[in-house]
Chains A and B, each alone.
Chain A
């Protein structure tokens, strides 16, 4: 089997969404995917605690969402960015806010690093 992802050469500051990640993050990503349905978005916005309680997330995972801890969700708990963005959208934090948090920067600091930040 020719290796396409070389696990002996981890890329710095990077999570490659492999089998380990998708298995680890399955519940969180599935929770996020449920927000493609408008009624779930409405329920989340109306009462976040009740919506979390009705989910099958673990207490740790629920706390990650309460804390908006995007860095940990992505780095440690198997979040897939395309799914996790859906949680951000309901909360009012877009991709670039999630990204800034992953970089350990404020949103403004992150925007300052871009070539033309009006294109957002």
Chain B
């Protein structure tokens, strides 16, 4: 079976990618953010997962509003770096594990999650920023990936509770896989931010820190939140945080916190939490 050994919740702010590509990690205003990922990188080197399931949203790279899937799962051997409108970033393409992905897709659909299966999928900042924050890749990516895209940008969005249940279904799928694999799941996006209207730049660090507490110790409380509540308290675009619940649903039960970090320099609360299944 494939075992989900760890979960990571992380922001995926695009400006992090730009700073990274420009080698600005040591600049005073960026350093706290990049340093915050050091312990997670080290920990991942120790546990050496085979597969990373990355729950993210496409911000207009491979999907547009002509047909925008609520849930889409990658089922390819490779995922190319997409062009979001500012050129292809200098990152290697991402290796997939199509056998595992197809098992996941079969299992999810028969478990009543009617996902869109993607045999070609270009990935973008929502997926890539967490990847390069968590893994070095000078010799190529050390894990195989499964992109799981969630609609968190065009309402109606799936509910927080639905995202949690997707995580539970991902776990059931993994556990019924025929080969032994070590899996880590990443829930990405947020934290508090708003990018539209005169409320642009709205941040709520208290909300973010409370969310970091609860994602670890009381995720059920978060699954009860409506999109309206999240948007009122943390900004319209903070609703992306529902994707962290997919991560947590996949490692439901007691967890051990490995690392936690928070930094809010500009317009987005940049949060990070790493959890290990406490078995």
Contacts and interface: CB of A to CB of B under 8 A. Distances in A.
A52 interface: no
A11 B232 contact: yes
A81 B197 CA distance: 10
A47 B9 CA distance: 43
A87 B66 CA distance: 19
B54 interface: no
Given A4-B156, A14-B194, A118 B85 contact: no
B153 A75 contact: no
A22 to B, nearest CB: 5
A104 B27 contact: no
Given A82-B153, A114-B266, A119-B29, A11 B236 contact: yes
A15 B157 contact: no
B265 A4 contact: no
Given A4-B226, A11-B231, A80 B153 contact: yes
Interface in B80-128: 82-87
Interface residues of B, dominant DSSP: loop
A96 B64 contact: no
B29 A75 contact: no
Contacts of A85: 85
A26 B159 CA distance: 24
A4 B155 contact: yes
B227 interface: yes
Interface in A74-99: 74-75, 79-83, 85-86, 89-90, 95-96, 99
Given A36-B85, A38-B83, A83-B60, A119 B65 contact: no
A3 interface: yes
B19 A119 contact: yes
Given A82-B60, A117-B29, A103 B267 contact: no
Contact of A22 (B65, B195, B196): B65
B217 interface: no
Nearest to A83: B60
A102 B29 contact: no
Contacts of A16: 155, 231, 236
A83 B153 CA distance: 11
Given A119-B30, A120-B15, A5 B155 contact: yes
Contacts of A103: 198, 200-201
Contact of A80 (B60, B198, B232, B264): B60
B154 interface: yes
B102 to A, nearest CB: 28
Interface in A1-59: 2-6, 9, 11-19, 22, 26, 29-30, 32-33, 35-38, 41
Contacts of A90: 85
Given A13-B197, A38-B87, A89-B85, A6 B228 contact: yes
Given A4-B155, A33-B60, A117-B29, A99 B85 contact: no
A103 to B, nearest CB: 5
Contacts of B267: 95-96, 99, 114
Interface of B: 14-15, 19, 27-30, 33, 59-61, 64-66, 82-87, 153-157, 159, 194-201, 226-228, 231-232, 236-237, 264-267
Given A100-B200, A119-B15, A120-B15, 9 more contacts: A4-B155, A11-B199, A14-B197, A14-B199, A18-B155, A33-B64, A86-B84, A86-B85, A117-B29
Complex A-B, nearest 7 residue pairs according to Cβ-Cβ distance, in ascending order? A118-B29, A86-B85, A116-B265, A119-B265, A13-B198, A82-B59, A13-B199
